[in-house]
Chain A
Amino acid sequence: MDLFEFFKENESKLHERPSEQAWERLEKRLERRRKRRQRTIRFLQLGAVVAALVLLLLAAGLVWYFVKNSPS
């Protein structure tokens, strides 16, 4: 076989398990990312609630203003 075939044929010999700590490190990074995403989602949810409350108060204020100042 030629040089390229020789390396391709033998490539599977290089397959080897990484250490146990590799998965643990990866899992820690994934967990940090999950928590970051959760915090972002909670922050956005809170923002949406605050925005809705502000809009509600604004609408209520406008209604109150127009009712109070209506000519009748």
Chain B
Amino acid sequence: MKASVIVFPGSNCDRDVAVALENATGKPPTMVWHAEAQIPDSDLIVLPGGFAYGDYLRCGAMAAQSPVMKDVVRKADAGTPVLGICNGFQVLTEAGLLPGVLMRNASLLYVCRDVHLRVERTDTVYTNRYEGGQVVRVPIGHHDGNYYADQATLDRLEGENRVAFRYCGPEGETDPASNPNGSARDIAGIYNERGNVLGMMPHPERLAEAVQGGTDGKGVFDSLVEALQ
């Protein structure tokens, strides 16, 4: 599997996700600077976490206008899997590849801790190594992860089975206490219509090998290898 990781000024999880990808695939991904017009042929494109352009104006707003994003949109439209993690998710919404927007956390606090996620679908390139309804522990670290979309969009996402992960308790139960940021309908990640674009606020690359204290995030990378190798 050939993966490319887009690097924006202010990305800071690009190297972490590169390590997780290399561990899963056996080869390092190509790092692509945001000013490039062309991404090399890739089986997977990753938009990493961080604070692209300092989060100025709105998180992801200026990164979404980077030269490289035209090619990301083109390749996503052609079916290439595109994974946006945290700031990458924000960039995908600002670029119009995913609906809705990530707003300031309801608590107004930066939240950095492990959360439980319920895997809502296992028939995608990102989640085929998980069990349906499986509860995994994955870290979050963000100030703006409060997923918002109008009711019609939320209903459509649910009707089309496009919620990838929901914040939940350790047994998979969803309740306000288990929602770390106020996200509508406990949404932690969503797919585009076709299912090849995934945006998620949690960081699977931060718990992808034992030395990090857990491996629940590894399933995302192993799933991609399973589907794309």
A binds B: no
